[in-house]
Structure 1
Amino acid sequence: MTSEVVHVLMGDPVLSDARLARFDELGHRLGQHLVLGVLQPSVPAHTRVVALVRACMREPFGLAGLAGTLRLMGASPETAKSVEQLAEEWQALSFHPAADWDGLRDLLTVVAPPDLPRLVNRATQGRLPPGEGPTGGTAWHALLHLTTLNAPPSGLPPALAFLLLLVHSPAVRSELGQERHRRLETRARAWARHSALADEYDRQADEYRSESAGQPPGALPPSVVVQLVPDTLDPDRYHLTCWMQTAPDHWSPYRLTETVAARAELEQAVSRMLADAEEKALGHLPDVTVEFVLPWELLNSPVERWGAGTVVPGSAPDAPVPSHPVVVRSLDRMRARHTHRRWHTRWQQLSSGEGHVLWSSSDGRGAVERLTDALVDDPDLVACVLSRPPGAYDGDGYAEVRAALWHGLPIVVWDRLDCQRPGFRAAAEELLSGGRLAELPQRLGRLRRDGRLDRHVVVLWDDPTQQPDSGGALGTPWSTW
């Protein structure tokens, strides 16, 4: 590794100017305490550069510091990029000495799947800051970069999660061929065993296989996803993120905007986000679904009013007609990873065109117990209509929706005001029995536009294969339910 870094530095024309005097200045900038005699002009330039690189490599992140300082010294972008890549490789080998790096390098330096940014984003669970990512365009560069990132509170470290995603990527399988793909899978499993993470590796592998089996055929409809995460320290503050999904053949949402707002300002903040999305793409795409990923306390909020619709002339100011289908999703379930197997299983049932609907008891007494028993006994249930809207944490509606999500139901429907309200049951029946449940978002938008479904009917439509962000550095801790 030392010789490779030295070769790159010696080949830079700017740093080589003036008999490599800039390397001496570079050593002082980095704060490296080199032997005084090494810096003397009589010492060959190559020896001075070797001493500088070795001094950097004695520090945990010394090569990374060298790469960053090169830009300040006027080195070419190619030199800085090459040293950055070598620094990541050196750190990766230092952090995981037991990994078969030679075998992985041989396999992954030729792999550059078109959805590489999406795989990196998912491996980090959306935690990479905007603009930060691998310095190269291959799976090898991405793996090296991810080894330097910390592991989440639960799940696999980003580098191992990335290897597992590569194993389950059809594009990577096609690029590698059967034999080389088998070798990649063998090395990924060996990494998991050495890290004492074999059980979690197998669990996530089952989850990815379920995703592939449950992916409905046809093009993915475009969508905008708005996620609201309570602040860890201030429960009155929320971190908002907006994504846009436009790729028709794979789930790869890209981040549009981020902001922070107090609870009283959420409607205005969301309206601004959606106005920005409307300007960038919403107005040019048909059948866009707007999805709100919400924590428990906001699940019954009137989000369809928050900039997702337009006011019809002559109607009341608080009665917007959504211009796009609006659905809600559960942030807490996304983070409760131990519930995902049940969620994926029922989603496969829904995607296959089978499954049926559970109507919770309307009298309220014992409704939660009966609903829970039905969910345990009937694996074909994929949707539920609540008997109460989710409100206070100690209410029946909250307990019902919690049970429905815990047991993996991807569809939950309720009335925001009162599930016993006249007309709600008929509206819910028309919504849920008007065709395949897998086409529910499109039917929801059509019924809303036709005026046959009022704004108080809430639809939770939660696809486990399309999660924009399973966690977040600024959000709440991972839920244990």
Structure 2
Amino acid sequence: MKALWRLEAIRKRNARDLCVSLLERQLGHPLPLTRDDSDINDVWQLVDSCLSYAGAFHALMTVVEEFHRGSIPMEELRNLVDELLPEPLLHPRERRELDGLLRTLAARAPELVAPDVIRALYWEVTGPSGPALNADPDDLRGVLARLEDLTVSVDSVPPLLAFVEELAASANGRPAVDLQSWAGGLAHRLGLARSLPAARRRAAQASQRRQPRSYLIIEFRPDGAVPDRYLTSAWLQVEGEHGLMLHCDDDPLPFDRLPVLVKELLSENQQVVNRPTPELTLEFVLPVDLLGTPLDQLRITVDGLERRLGIEHPVVVRSLDRMRRQAYHHPWRRKWHWLRDNPRGAKVCWVTQPGQYGGESLYNMLLSEPSSVCLAMAFPPRPDGPDSSDELRAALQAGAPIVAWCRRGRDPGRFVQEFQDLLDMGALALPDTVLTLRRQALRALDEDPGGDHLGLELTLIFDDADRLPEPYVRLKAPA
């Protein structure tokens, strides 16, 4: 305090007011400061307020140094600060950017920064033995300052970085992308880039734990003896648990019996009706020649009310051929694990017309770039066979967990914009985002029966390599 008082820019009221104004501009937000008519008490209040916010005192030194650079009192004060106060984790620019990102998040999704959520996230990243939260959860800047002071954790990831990753995993759209980009930049500067994927995986898993989901998986396997007949199986799987077999038919069925099977499973099977989680995703495991079947538009009738399947639950398709061929599993797992660890960094390989790339070229593009986890086509792939296109085959063999296309074909520029809008909401959220799109499409169809909304024509392959139906799970040693 004595060293600070020796500086004229601090000692005189007018100069001190200017320093406070410049300090707040550098911080990017007002400093909670109670002013006092007494100069000495006013300086004490300034010091106390700066010490309450990580980086604020160092920012004050930067401001004051503009007035007293090279002076003996300034050098003495700088040496004292360097000795007593550790260097802050964030640079001023990083702190301002984070403040702006969180204000945007609060405006778009206020429930994610509610006091109870912030308190829970604080204890999640600091652990049960972490220091008490000496800040009001309503004061998000105060919580961030507290986290910035905690620079060490057991897994080498600073709690502040883990906190931002948790928020990004819970958010959607541009705020999530920007938060994860900010965290990636900080991790790179701190030399923690290798630790970040593990932090992101934990954040994604924590987010999933907060939003449990069940999966109804229905498989159609071609019957070799009878063309156009299929052996059907169905499982119910709750997230993180083994699947429960619901149905296994040894008698081959025609594909047009699928609506009856789906209706029975959804409305009459007691395990599905009484599932432990309300959220349910429908996954159809199909041979390659059936992947383009518009199952989201499948109509079922329950108690006299007919509706499309795709407006009630997320509906995705999965590749039976990839599940059954172990040789495809290695690139598939690599791609899925990359996506799981970097959900906001997913890149799309756009194919806007058939034959745009040769099969080998497309396979090489997808295989050689880890972030290319999605293939998007503005046209439907031709059925499997001698005259089939190579796009779908290349995507499945290269391990792309996400493949999407418009079943009737679409103007390439329009399709790219529409599907990119879906991806901006988060690659791992695509099944739910597409569900919303399909509901919007039906409302648009009521207003314009001749419309061509993408939600009526989009097929989505969404293949989770960590979650396979029970027959495909590798045998493990007994517990």
TM range (shorter): 0.3 to 0.5
TM-score, reference length from structure 1: 0.47
Greater C-alpha radius of gyration: 2
TM-score, reference length from structure 2: 0.47
Task: For CA contacts below 8 A with separation 6 or more, give which structure has more relative contact order.
Answer: 1
